[in-house]
């Protein structure tokens, strides 16, 4: 069963879970506890004043927690699971359950949900774990993706749409004069959230990826009004319409720990709200926290691993680094067999994850998880005249404030030792 409550129960048995006493104010106070959970690797349970729903945060704020959910013993097994999930659709399909057996109408309104203002600069209270499911108007399929929602009123939120699949669906509907009917899911199993963070081709339903990630078919239910498939086990489901009305959304502190600018974004009008009949948790993800890094960055780290291993003999380790917020910086260790392998790895990484800004490639004796070792490799093995790659004016991340509308200069550093003089670059260890 893909239930977040079951995950929390299992983590509690391993000593991961900490309960915060009392009720937290919805403004800022949860942020402090979520940040502390990141530092300790804890999962925290808490309540927000004004809401009867119990919250959980830090569910996958370590690689160990993520790998346990994937049933993976290490990096390559975890990457292979994500790659396999993207390579084909579910074999067994979904197990379909009755919606009314699982959910009941919510007695409150959207303002009764434990939405949080995480930072004083935020434009409002936000839901950060919402999976939005919509039918593709041009294909017989669906799309699932995670979007931040800013609370506007008892029945409306602003939804941040980036130019990807849901935005395409919204535009296709808008051009035909239709609103985009959606189901919004909060408090789903972490592997459902991970699948919704991945980027399969348009027309591949992300929930179909869950089976290969978790090893069994996902249970779904179809919403009563719009007939949209949602995970059967979640804390909150609501049905609504992404309208043509626009509203100022933001600022919002995003993955880089910097405020994303205010934009005109669509209003999502909410028609019906449901909550689980069984105890489930409302998932709160700290913006710019480790859970945010892993959900957003780990699928891209997998893409970098997959791309680099096609152009070099062996990839030892790939890391989208914490300092780069698992988005802008990568360190890759390889087993080098030919001069030029380092540069091949750099270019493959940039192609696999276009938001990458800096890539460092090191030899297999350097651990990408150890910044001191990486710096030592740059200090002793890198010469700019032969190892520096500069790409000017390339597509990058619009989140990077130093870019110009997403155009950025990219730097690759080949900090691998020359093969014909490798003995001169071997570090002596005690």
Catalytic residue among 254, 341, 363, 414: 254
- Assess contact for 181 and 134: CB atoms under 8 A: yes
Residues 6+ apart with CB under 8 A from 257: 288, 325
Tell whether omega for the bond before 99 is within 30 degrees of 0, i.e. cis: no
Catalytic (active site) residue 409: no
Q: What is the SS3 assignment for the chain? A: CCCHHHHHHHHHHCCCEEEEEEEECCECHHHHHHHHHHHHCCEEEEEECCCCCEEEECCCCCHHHHHHHHCCCCHHHHHHHHHHHHHCCCCCCCEEECHHHHEEECCCCHHHCCCEECCCCCCCCEECCCEEEEECCCCCCEEEEECCEEEEECCEEEECCCCCHHHHHHHHHHHCCCCEEEEEEECCCHHHHHHHHCCCCCCCCHHHHHHHHHCCCCEEEECCCCCCEEECCCCEEEEEEEEEEEEEECCEECCCCCEECCEEEEEEEEEEEEEECCCCCEECCCCCCHHHHHHHHHHHHHHHHHHHCCCCCEEEEEEECCCCCCCCEEEEEEECCCCCHHHHHHHHHHHHCCCCCEEEEEECCCCCCCHHHHHHHHHHHCCHHHHEEEEEEEECCCCCCCCECCEEEEEEEEECCCHHHHHHHCCCCC
What is the pairing mode between strands 149-153 and 126-127?
Answer: antiparallel
What CA–CA distance (Å, rounded) separates 10 from 43?
A: 11
- N- to C-terminal Cα distance for the chain? 49
What CA–CA distance (Å, rounded) separates 425 from 419?
A: 10
**Of 340, 312, 315, the residue nearest 330 (C-alpha):** 315
Catalytic residue positions? 254
């Amino acid at each position: 069963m893909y239930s977040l409550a079951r995950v929390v129960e299992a983590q509690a048995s391993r000593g991961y879970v900490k309960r915060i006493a009392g009720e937290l104010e919805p403004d800022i106070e949860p942020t402090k506890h979520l940040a502390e959970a990141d530092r300790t690797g804890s999962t925290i349970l808490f309540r927000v004043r004004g809401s009867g729903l119990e919250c959980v945060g830090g569910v996958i704020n370590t690689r160990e927690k993520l790998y346990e959910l994937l049933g993976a013993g290490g990096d390559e097994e975890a990457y292979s699971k994500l790659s396999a999930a993207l390579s084909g659709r579910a074999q067994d399909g979904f197990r379909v359950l009755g919606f009314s057996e699982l959910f009941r109408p919510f007695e409150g309104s959207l303002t009764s949900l434990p939405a949080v203002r995480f930072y004083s600069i935020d434009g409002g209270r936000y839901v950060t774990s919402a999976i939005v499911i919509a039918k593709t108007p041009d294909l017989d399929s669906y799309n699932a993706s995670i979007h931040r929602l800013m609370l506007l009123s008892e029945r409306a939120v602003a939804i941040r749409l980036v130019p990807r699949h849901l935005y395409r669906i919204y535009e296709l509907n808008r051009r035909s004069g239709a609103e985009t009917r959606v189901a919004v899911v909060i408090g789903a199993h972490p592997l459902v959230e991970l699948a919704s963070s991945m980027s399969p081709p348009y027309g591949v339903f992300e929930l179909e990826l869950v089976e290969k990630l978790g090893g069994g078919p996902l249970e779904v239910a179809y919403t009563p009004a719009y007939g949209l498939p949602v995970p059967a086990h979640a804390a909150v489901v609501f049905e609504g319409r992404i309208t043509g009305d626009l509203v100022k959304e933001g600022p919002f502190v995003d993955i880089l720990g910097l405020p994303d600018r205010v934009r005109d974004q669509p209003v999502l009008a909410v028609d019906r709200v449901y909550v689980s009949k069984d105890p489930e948790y409302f998932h709160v993800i700290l913006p710019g926290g480790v859970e945010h890094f892993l959900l957003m960055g780990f699928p891209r780290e997998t893409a970098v691993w997959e791309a680099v291993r096609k152009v070099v003999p062996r990839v030892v380790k790939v890391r989208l680094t914490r300092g780069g917020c698992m988005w802008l910086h990568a360190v890759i260790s390889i087993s080098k067999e030919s001069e030029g392998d380092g540069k091949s790895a750099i270019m493959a990484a940039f192609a696999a994850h276009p938001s990458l800004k800096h890539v460092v490639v090191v030899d297999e004796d350097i651990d990408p998880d150890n910044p001191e070792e990486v710096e030592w490799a740059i200090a002793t093995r890198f010469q700019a005249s032969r190892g520096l790659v500069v790409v000017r004016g390339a597509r990058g991340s619009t989140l990077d404030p130093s870019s110009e509308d997403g155009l950025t200069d990219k730097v690759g550093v080949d900090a691998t030792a020359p093969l014909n003089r490798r003995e001169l670059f071997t570090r002596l260890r005690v």
